[in-house]
């Protein structure tokens, strides 16, 4: 869970970053980024090699082999299973 607070304010916004439908078949859709000003998305294979990078909440992963991947979204780490 990402927690961001406005400076000088007691109001906090909680963004719960999740993946729509995991295992993923073709399109990786990241949910819960509504309040994020910038999006930094990186996808790593199970050896730690960077396989995709972007700034969108949707990635086409249809060309990737099935298996386990690690998704980094604005510093948060999620596991992704590609079908």
* Each residue's pLDDT tens digit, 29-82: 998 876 666 889 999 999 999 999 999 889 999 999 999 999 999 888 999 999
Cβ–Cβ under 8 Å, residues 58 and 27: yes
CA distance 27 to 61: 6
Residue written as token pair 């993946």: 19
Q: In this structure, is the dihedral angle defined by the CA atoms of residues 36, 81, 26 and 71, taken in order, positive or negative? A: positive
Predicted local confidence at residue 10, as pLDDT: 44
Q: Are 72 and 41 in contact (CB under 8 A)?
A: yes
Instruction: Write down the pLDDT at residue 62.
Output: 95
Amino acid 16: pLDDT: 74
Separation of alpha carbons 30 and 10, rounded Å = 27
């Amino acid at each position: 869970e990402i927690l961001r607070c406005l400076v000088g304010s007691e109001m906090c916004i909680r963004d719960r970053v999740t993946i729509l439908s995991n295992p993923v078949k073709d399109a990786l859709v990241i949910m819960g980024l509504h309040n994020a000003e910038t999006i930094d998305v990186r996808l790593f294979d199970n050896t730690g090699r960077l396989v995709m990078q972007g700034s969108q909440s949707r990635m086409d992963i249809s060309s990737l082999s099935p298996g386990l991947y690690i998704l980094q979204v604005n510093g948060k780490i999620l596991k992704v299973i590609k079908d």
